[in-house]
Structure 1
Amino acid sequence: MKIIKQMYWMCSRQLPFILFLAYLLAIVTAPLFTPHDPLEINMNERLLEPSVEHLFGTDHLGRDLFSRILAGGQVTVGTGLLVLIIVLLSGVPLGMMSGFIGGRFDRYFMRIIDSFMAFPDFIIAIVLSGILGPGMLNLIFAIVVTKWGSYVRLARSTVLSEKEKDYVLMAVVNGLSTFKLIRKHLLPHVVGNVFVLATLDFGKIILLIASLSYIGLGAQPPTPEWGAMLNESTPYFHSSPYLMVIPGIAIMSTVLISNLAGDVLRDRFDVKG
């Protein structure tokens, strides 16, 4: 009985993370399962209800909604992953460098970060996207600028808390180079915390991408993107509510799974927050 309880506990704690990885894999392989061309217009089949031929029905231009949801997942989730990778590769090294060097560089650099984090994420993203104009490249840049500060601060705070500990001081006394010191002693502590934040943050990035596309600052027609699909479906909400409900469920499920996976990792790495 004890073994069964342990197995149940392990499965219940690991299941969200497994679902998250499986979800990402399904998004990546989505083109293999699209039964129709997501961009093909057929006005003779516009606004069809869900059926065997069109699993989720068709939109106002007769395009298969199931195919567009799968293709839109690649745009929305793929863009979110790209943003996350750019943020990690830029924010984490700068944060570690700022915490390790300290002094004037740290003080001036953190004032810049504080200026970015003084406003809500959505406000900064919408202002930058509005200035730069609509488009996915501008959207990616706006969200990267919005999110990178939190990773800089997290990496910096972790380095500051670890670099004064005895094992780090002993490594310095023993002549360990700065690069090896960071790689062997500081980076492992940073990775766990950053990984947890990234998983929890992924859902917020997805919401930002969908929100900006919904108001016309992200993906442009005819590109299938979940937020843009919500915008296109607004006039047909009363007659064909599934056109908005299905993309909304896709966004909600992605955010929910990423949050559950982040909770598992937070418990795994014992991150307080």
Structure 2
Amino acid sequence: MIHRSRARIAVIVTLAILAFILILAPYIAPFDPTQVKMEERLKPISMEHLLGTDHLGRDVFSRILTGAQTTVGASFLILFISLLVGVPFGLLSGYLGGKIDRIFMRIVDAFMTFPDYIVAIILSGFLGPGMFNLVLAIVMVKWVGYARLARSVVLTEKQKDYISMAKINGMSSLNILRRHMIPHVTGNVMVLATLDIGKIILMIASLSYIGLGAQPPAPEWGAMLNEAKGFFYNAPQLMLIPGLSIMMVVLIFNLLGDYLRDHFDVKNQKG
């Protein structure tokens, strides 16, 4: 019990710090993240520049802070849109069944024929570079997983006796979905979404690294890695800092996903 309480507190504190950084990054960044100062290029870590400067004299600490808004903020936006599209789609498909469900499965099969990264790269390349197109491409890849998860839960639940009793008592399909299906779907979707955030962050960073995401001079962790690769031997921190930032945030969300999975497993066992 004490172990669970400590884990819950650690998760809440970590998420609160991350949310604070995401919201207030432009206000707490000590320098303009896009301002070029060639006379200060490749400066080491110091009291003035906490993480040094890059090849254009821009403050790395300021770029990491504001880059979190781009990388992590875009991940939350992608996740939100994917849930908004995928969950209702899966709920209706699983509940209505028949021809609608068969059409849905053909769409899902088409999207899941290739790995997420391959499809995202193809779509991003077709749409062109830029964060808007990158977000659109990843949403087109990610909504399918949430739709399929919601559908599988609904297919399992609608066979149970309490759903049959609800129909016999005259409960409308909308009320059945709202009162019975959505609560069962929510826990599973939350766990998948939390674990998926890390994958989305990695996808955004990797696509930006190859030039399909954020464009210079916008601060974004994957783009920062790309810009710094030519200076790895002279200033390795320019790659290590954004790389470690990506790794730490992904690890945080993976730990949160594991915690939520255990939490909902306990609830289901008690039920």
Fold match (TM-score > 0.5)? yes
Distance of 2:14 and 2:144 partners within structure 1: 29
Aligned positions of 1:195-206 closer than 5 A: 195-206=190-201
Code of the residue aligned with 2:254 in structure 1: it is N
* Counterpart position of 1:47: 42
**Whole-Å separation in 2 of the counterparts to 1:9 and 1:96:** 32
Residue equivalent to 1:226: 221
> C-alpha deviations, 1:50-69, integer Å up to 9, x for none?
10000000000100000000
Q: Cα RMSD (Å) of the superposition?
A: 1.4
Confirm or deny: 8 A CA contact 1:92 1:152 kept in the other structure.
yes
- 1:7 maps to what in 2? 2
Which ranges of structure 1 fall in alignment gaps of 5 or more residues? 1-5
Change (3 A) 1:149 1:56: same
CA 1:114 to 1:17, structure 2 compared with 1: closer, same or farther past 3 Å? farther
Q: Secondary structure at the match of 2:265?
A: coil
Q: Deviations over 1:82-132 (max 9, x none)?
A: 000000000000000000000011012111111101211100000111111
Matches within 5 A, 1:1-273: 6-16=1-11, 18-270=13-265
Farther-moved stretch of structure 1 (60-69 vs 18-27): 18-27
Q: One-letter code of the match for 1:230?
A: L
How far apart are the structure 1 equivalents of 2:262 and 2:172? 33
Q: Which moved more, 1:12-21 or 1:87-96?
A: 12-21
The answer (yes or no) to whether the contact 1:27–1:74 under 8 Å persists in 2 is yes
**CA separation in 2, counterparts of 1:21 and 1:198?**
18
Q: Percent identity?
A: 59
> Deviation digits for residues 177-203 of structure 1, max 9, x if unmatched?
111111111100011100110000000
The alignment of Structure 1 onto Structure 2 pairs a total of residues equal to 267
Residue 13 of structure 1 and its aligned partner are, at CA, apart by 5.0
The one-letter code matched in structure 1 to 2:115 is P
Assess if the C-alpha contact under 8 Å between 1:39 and 1:222 holds in 2.
Answer: yes
Question: Which has the higher mean CA deviation after the structures are superposed, 23-32 or 130-139?
Answer: 23-32
Q: How far apart, CA to CA, are the structure 2 residues paired with 1:79 and 1:199?
A: 14
Separation in 2, partners of 1:52, 1:134: 36
Helix, strand or coil: the match of 1:240?
coil
Alpha-carbon deviation of 1:14?
Answer: 4.8
TM-score (norm: length of structure 2):
0.95
Alpha-carbon deviation of 1:18? 4.0
Question: Structure 1 length normalisation: TM-score?
Answer: 0.95
Deviations 1:149-181 (CA, angstroms, capped at 9, x unpaired)? 110100000001111111111111111111111
The alpha-carbon deviation at position 32 of structure 1 amounts to: 2.1
